[in-house]
Structure 1
Amino acid sequence: MSRRARYLALLVICLAELLVVLDNTIVNVALPSLGVELHTDISGLQWVVDAYTLTFAGLLLAFGHLGDRYGRRRVMMIGLAGVAVMSVGGALATDLGQVIAARAAMGVFAAAVFPATLALIINIFTDVKERAVAIAAWTAMAGIAIAIGPTAGGWLLEHFSWHSVFWINVPVALVVLVLARLLIPESKTTHVGRLDLLGIAFSLLSVTTLVWTIIEAPHQGWVSAISLSGYAMSVVFFAAFVWWELRTDSPVLNMQLFRIRRFSLPALAIAVAYFSMFGFLFMITQYFQGVMELTPLQFGIHSLPFAAAIAVGAPLATLIAQRIGTTAVIVFGLVVMSVGMFIAGQVKVETPYLGAVVVSMVLMGLGLAIVQGPATESIMSSVPLEEAGAGSAVNDTTREAGGTLGVAVLGSIVASVYTTKVGPRIDAIPDFLMTPYEKSFARETVISVLEIVKRPTVPAFAQQKADLVYAMKAASLEGFQLASYVTVSVSLLVAVAVAVFLPWKPAAESVLLAWKEPSAK
């Protein structure tokens, strides 16, 4: 391929990635409108988001393997077509069950797209320096998509109904589908053994069980019988997966890869980076909407510094890692994220946006970009070209697992502190001022402030309402502070682990050498 053809292919691949990642975030902004029209509760709205996450995370490894066998472009194109069709289903849905089913199906097809994007890049860009640039672009696109989702969703809701967050996927997916057929070369492994159906089944069961348990843990209780059973089942399925993969001739995932420190430790760093980032985005979303009382579009615009930081940091970090080594860059990125999260935890109700809030967003964006680009490049450089899809799927699965765990754990911490602080005050409010449903909603999230502020109040109770609103905002930020300390501790611990166990010398330039000489890693 010519240089021009390679970069045109990269552009199309990044557009496919943008569609998948954006769809994972844009729907969040539409949840309030969707809930009002379909008359659903908070739990139902959470499953609109989580249904996508569950199927997406559970099938990444399986589709990465299938792409290696049958063609990465082919599997990606099937995924794009499926996303378009299921988006139509979501747009035409008339009840919550239909929306959740459409989102789950979209997650299935998105899982076919995502591992193929990175695997195709690795096979198209064989030169080490060009590959680093391509991975940096891929990394920047993923982060930007996460950050601009609220802006895009907010704009759509300013002009259209919640159905628009589904309709927008259809033309984009179809255009990318045509461009992929025209501009992206096919690639697949040359040596194909028997399809590892049992390995695919065990991987699906282990990841899906774990993600479902994490999603439900805040509702069921982290140490409830249901949650503990879920953890146990996930461990059993995972143990069965490892046992089988070590014994079969054609594994869906070569477990020997985890003996390579340049593969396993960067994967851990990515998981923790996304644990921090998704937890941060969860908290900043509640801050912008509940504390600052911004509209969805205003919220999206205020979050743009995060996207800009990722766009700047990703290319620079990957190229610098080529010179000074991956370890130093990953450690630095985790420390930067820790500083950003610590600053975010110090925000108070009165804190101005142009100050600690912007600084924390910029540092979190830079830290994520600094970690993800070099870590991804290290992971994929440790994988032989024949297993690029499986390696990409591991990279993607660690991101999803880390992000899901971040929202669940940090969200649970925030909710626990918030409910403890405001619950008694809300319970003391007479029913003629707040209905039981309104009280329940107010106890769950600070975003309920938006409804409380809009509701007409007689002058005699105006001060009490103002005091309640302030107490709700302050309680949520106390929860954010505790969650930030947990995140900082986890990030710094992993930074130390990477600094101690990951080699500091820059990796060899050859992908083949990285695979053939794991002891040098």
Structure 2
Amino acid sequence: MAHPRRWSILGVLCLALLVLSVDNMILTLAIPAFMRELGASPADVQWILDAYILVFAGLLITAGSLSDRYGRRRLLIMGLGVLGGASLLAVFADQPWQLVACRALMGAGAALAMPSTMSILILVFDENERRKAMSIWGMVSMVGIVAGPTLGGLLLQHFWWGSVFLVNVPLAVLGGVGAYAVVPESRGPARRADPLGVLLSIAGMAGLVWAIISLPHEGWSAPVVIALGAAIVALVVFVRWQSRAPHPMLPLAMFRDRNFSGAAASVVLLVFSTAAVQLALTQFLQLVLGYDAMTAALAFVPLAVAVAAFNLVGATLAKRVSNRTLIVAGMLVIAVSQGVFALIGPGDGYPLLAAGLVLMGIGTGLATPGVFATLMGAIPPQHAGVGSAVSDTIQQAGMALGVAALGSLLSAGYLAALPAGVPHGARTSLAEALGTAARTGSAGLAQVAREAFLSSMSLVSTAAALLSVAGAVLALAVLRRRTPAHVRD
């Protein structure tokens, strides 16, 4: 049954989610400051960014299981406390390794808190209102993704680099106090701990994510191959152990539900196809159109506005059509948006890009609530925490895979599109080519490099569009026609 204070609870959960999403995105503009003020090398910067993702993805399933066992509100408050405390410590860092350690601790706090936000949501709302609540939840997540870089830019314009971490502290405190005051405690049935499952899941997910995020920079080097092999072995042993353990931390029966497995696959394709396209668009805005970092962040506002508006449209349509219909329609619209990005040429400015961003926002706004409502609706309430963690883990892995795979395609396409005779240093990336052109005064080199990048971006956008179509076909074929009782699909 729906909780009488469910909308107040949703407000607190959205505040907690805003803390997590802003924290994850706010560093995008602070990298030059880290290099200048802390003497961070490019490798240090990479670890500052990746330490959070690595720990976050590695701990998610364990944290979700712990929230089911010890209390979802308790883990939410603990996670916000760890995140806020680590952010405060980061303000006082004066060495890159200290900042890396703080970022890893922030990732641990986010992993503790994140599964509880969605698991509590599905417990306090009934099926009739759950999609509307998830629409609002998803809208807040998108606002945080856009607001993070924008807020980071404003803070860096007026304050020192530590302000991008300090802003997390009051938000985390407010979220923790609100959770204690409003959110009810809930947990699954008492069961024994699964320490072997915990170790295997952490080792497997951490190794997998490390290999994925290292692949674009190191290629198939020995450390990457070893980490990937060890991760696969750990995850295979984890699955076998979970199928035989008397008290598994991850109930594998969830994956036998067509709605859960189909929605999970749709999430992977959705984030896989959109993450790398946004990576290419960020470079297009700054290196082709010449926007500064702040203006480039604001250029994504049409995406956030469209997502927010069509999340609500999707929630309204949910009364008349099924989740499957919304997912299929949304992913097809996303495919169209990626087709628009593929058409951007050397003479096109921001308007065509803005049209594609609006279409992507419409598609995302329609598909996302249906995907998560289907995914979470298939999870038994007693496993809400670990089920939510699986959802989050799938998103993180899909995003990392998308950036690694399509990011590599972006680099390979750029290299292939360059004509013979381009200097070696200019062949590594568009940024390097523009730097070489600026040093040598070669306007022709800059023009050729930009055209090669646009050709590569078109290739990546086309691949992403095909993946989005595949996601729509998969959802149509696998998901059941489950709708509210008064609706026929």
TM-score > 0.5 by shorter chain: yes
Equivalent residue, structure 2, for 1:236:
233
Instruction: After superposing the two structures, state which structure 1 stretch, 327-336 or 155-164, moved more.
Output: 155-164
Equivalent residue for 2:201, pick from 183, 200, 203? 203
Matches of 1:240 and 1:277 in 2, distance apart? Answer: 31
- Displacement of 1:140 in angstroms is 1.3
Q: Distance in 1 between matches of 2:362 and 2:211?
A: 31
Of 369, 382, 399, 1:373 maps to 369
Q: Please give the residue correspondences for 1:429-448 in structure 2 after superposition, counting only pairs within 5 Å.
A: 439=425, 444-447=428-431
> Which of 490, 502, 506 is the matching residue for 2:483?
506
> Counterpart of 1:287?
284
How many residue pairs get matched? Answer: 486
How far residue 353 of structure 1 moved from its aligned partner, in angstroms, is 0.7
Q: Which runs of 5+ in 1 are unaligned?
A: 429-438, 510-521
Partner residue, 2:403: 407
Q: How does 1:48-127 map to 2 (within 5 A)?
A: 48-125=48-125, 127=126
Return 5+ residue gaps in structure 2 as ranges: none
Shift of 1:88: 1.7
Structure 1 residues 35, 473: closer, same or farther in 2, change over 3 A? farther
- 1:44-443 matches, within 5 Å, as 44-125=44-125, 127-189=126-188, 191-221=189-219, 223-354=220-351, 356-419=352-415, 427=423, 439=425
Deviation string for 1:297-345 (max 9, x for gaps)?
2112211001011101223224423432111111111111111112112
Q: CA deviation at 1:224?
A: 4.3
Alpha-carbon separation, structure 2, partners of 1:270 and 1:467? 42
For each residue in 1:104-144, what CA deviation from the matched residue of structure 2 results, as whole angstroms up to 9, or x when unmatched? Answer: 1111110111110001111222x222222211111111122
Separation in structure 2 between the aligned mates of residue 41 and residue 416 of structure 1, nearest angstrom: 25
- Contact 1:315/1:373, CA 8 A, preserved across alignment: no
Overall identity of the aligned pairs, in %:
34
Distance 1:444 1:96 in 2: 26
The aligned residue for residue 512 of structure 1 is: none
How far is 1:42 from its partner? 3.3
Higher alpha-carbon deviation: 31-40 or 209-218:
31-40
Distance 2:193 2:419 in 1: 54
**Pairing of 1:484-503 with structure 2 (within 5 A):** 484-503=461-480
Whole-angstrom CA distance in 2 between matches of 1:375 and 1:269: 7
Give the AA of the match of 1:153.
Answer: G
For 1:250 and 1:305, the matched residues in 2 are separated by 47
Counterpart of 2:20 in structure 1 is 20
Cα distance between partner residues in 2 of 1:416 and 1:375? 32
Q: What is the CA–CA distance in structure 2 between the aligned matches of 1:423 and 1:51, rounded to whole Å?
A: 38
RMSD: 2.3
The CA deviation string for residues 233-259 of structure 1, in whole angstroms up to 9 with x for no partner, is: 222111111111111222111100111
Aligned partners of 2:383, 2:2: CA distance in 1, in Å? 24
- Give the match's secondary structure for 2:215: helix
- 2: distance between equivalents of 1:36 and 1:100? 16
Does the 8 Å CA contact 1:136/1:314 hold for their aligned counterparts?
yes
The offset of 1:501, in angstroms, is 2.0
Q: CA offset at residue 420 of structure 1?
A: 5.0
How far apart are 1:232 and its partner, in Å? 2.5
* Closer/same/farther in 2, CA of residues 101 and 450 from structure 1, 3 Å limit: farther
Are the counterparts in 2 of residues 279 and 411 from structure 1 also a CA contact under 8 Å? yes
State the distance in 2 between where 1:180 and 1:281 align: 33
**Structure 1 residue 68 displacement after superposition:** 0.8
Q: What is the Cα deviation at residue 75 of structure 1?
A: 0.5
The aligned counterpart of 2:36 is: 36
